[in-house]
Amino acid sequence: MVFANKKHFPTAIIGVLVAFSIVALVLSLVKTDDVTLPPVVKYGLVFDAGSSHTSLFVYEWDSDKENDTGVVSQTLSCDVQGQGISSYAKDPPKAGDSLRACLETALKVIPAGKQRDVPVYLGATAGMRLLREQNSSSAAQILAEAAKTIQEYPVAFKGARILTGEEEGAYGWITINYLLDSFTKYSPKAHTWVHPEAASILGALDLGGASTQISFVPEGSVRNWSETSTFTLYGYNYNIYTQSYLCYGQNEILKRLAKELIVEAAFSSRVEHPCYPKDFKETISLSSFSTSPCTNQSDPGLAFGDRDVTLEGSGNASACLAALRKLFNFSACEQIQDCTFDGVTQPPLTGQFVAFSAFYYNFKFLNLTKGQPLATVRETIKDFCTRSWEDLSSSYPDENPQRLSKYCTNANYILTLLSAYKFNESSWNNIFFQMKAGSADIGWTLGYMLNLTNMIPGEAPARRKAQLPSLWAAAIAFIILTLTLGFAALLLLLWGK
């Protein structure tokens, strides 16, 4: 570089260096949040392969908030056409094919550049647990076909497996408490995370087609409850009691009830059904009882094969309740303390509960999800059960007839089951019937994904960054400024010589 006037050289050098120093100082005063790049949106997919149907859920969250609470949102839910994958025991490839339409729908909402990094899980529940009992090779083949189909798409497939009943219950419990901020909350005032009171931890009540689950945190010591699991979430330990009852889902109860009524009627061709509406008729084949381990117990009368039986509704609510109670083995609890039914022990109920899935859908239809007292619930169900089929059909013309005819049975079964769980007039108001929390459906799928992606840390979240100037940037600016002034002084010294 050539200067027109050599004596101006030191002044020019010093001016340039001071300018750099000013720029560095300004950068040091910029807030860290002002220069942070936008977070990356991430996605996850979970198939809920239930006993009666399969659903696909698409979740999304910002990458910089993976370990926060309540930040995962549900982007999409897609109902797979047809029955549950366990119904494809005789043609397993169709189980995989049934998933294609929802997979293609899900990929339309995920940017193409991110699809290969999207984790995809398939969890099968009680329907597949029952099929595995009947035919383990068919169950394995169905899962293999489902996995094969998913792997044809540009996603990060993470596996297809059958959940235990206890896992299903625990993941539902995690979903509820995660979505409702029961595990931890960020306090803007304190600039830190706080742990809610123990009373705000919610219990979970799930009712599916083939099984039902109850999960909650018992009060005091957990004693030696064999059904208790321990989770460490956000730095706190939770001892969860979770119990699953196979063959107590609403679809299996309907089959079990029909079978018991037929057996009691000595296999007559026409059998009175107290839970069906008066004048409603349904014809079933005795061979249908052989399709499930819940009704496939040996019984001489069922050996008549494909003989049909007609069930005729009588609309008798009290007789319906009595018939449903016979499906529970309460006598097995006579000598056992803290026992519900079938010889299963349960800690005393504590806290509030969220009842979802079939609990919600049946009570929603009957307009019983608004916190009505138990006496009102019982009276509403009783009145509904006394209505004739003609009355119901004309009053609910848009309702599926198969579902409409079963609401009396399902509602009375819910009353019987919740009573077996030890809910009574005083604790009934602790049950909240709901299916959504924010934008997300309540169920086990979100808890399952959160667990497998380690998005709920065992340790407590670190203190959030305060909105202050970056100490690192200030330190770097100070060093640059010091070096600049030192270099300028050296130049002046050399120039003076």
Spatial separation of the C-alpha atoms in residues 172 and 67, rounded to whole Å: 19
The answer as to whether 54 is a domain residue is: yes
Closest CA to 460 of 235, 238, 237: 235
| 416 and 329 in a common domain | yes
Where is mean pLDDT largest: 26-30, 361-365, 435-439? 361-365
Phi, psi for residue 494 in degrees, rounded to 5: -65, -40
Does one domain contain both 258 and 325? yes
Residue 218 lies in a domain: no
**Domain of residue 174, CATH code:** 3.30.420.40
Q: What is the CATH number of the domain that holds 299?
A: 3.30.420.150
In contact, 372 and 239? CB cutoff 8 Å: no
Specify the DSSP class assigned to residue 150. H
Indicate whether 465 belongs to any domain.
no
| Pair (306, 329) in one structural domain | yes
Residue 242's pLDDT band, with cuts at 50, 70 and 90, is very high
- 122 and 19 share a domain? no
Given a contact cutoff of 8 angstroms between Cβ atoms, the answer to whether 269 and 310 are in contact is yes
* Contacts of residue 407, Cβ cutoff 8 Å, sequence gap at least 6: 362, 365, 366, 384
Residues 412 and 481 both lie in one domain: no
Of the ranges 195-204, 265-274, 477-486, which one carries the lowest mean pLDDT score?
477-486
Share of the chain above pLDDT 90, in %: 67
Contact predicate 81/95, CB 8 Å: no
Is the pLDDT reported for residue 126 higher than 80?
Answer: yes
**Are 142 and 24 members of one domain?**
no
How would residue 453 be classed by pLDDT, with cut points 50, 70 and 90?
confident
Q: Which is nearest to 204 in space by CA: 427, 36, 359?
A: 359
Query: Do 301 and 413 lie in a common domain?
Result: yes
Shared-domain flag, residues 288 and 370: yes
Banded pLDDT at 2 (limits 50, 70, 90): very low
Q: How many whole angstroms separate alpha carbon 353 and alpha carbon 207? A: 13
Answer yes or no: do 365 and 488 share one domain.
no
Q: Do residues 417 and 476 both lie within one domain?
A: no
Q: Return all residues near 410 (Cβ < 8 A) that are at least 6 apart.
A: 250, 358, 362
* pLDDT score at 165: 95
Task: Look up the domain containing 251 and give its range.
Answer: 243-437
459 is catalytic: no
For the chain, the maximum distance between any two Cα atoms, rounded to a whole number of angstroms, is 122
Does one domain contain both 300 and 406?
yes
Look at the chain and report how many structural domains it folds into: 3
Q: Are residues 74 and 45 in the same domain?
A: yes
Residue among 448, 437, 423 nearest 182 (CA) = 437
Q: Are 452 and 158 in contact (CB under 8 A)?
A: yes
The pLDDT of residue 465 is 42
pTM, whole model, 2 decimals? Answer: 0.84
Active-site choice (145, 168, 227, 252): 168
pLDDT digits (tens, 9 = 90+) for 303-313: 556 789 999 99
Percent of the chain with pLDDT over 70: 79
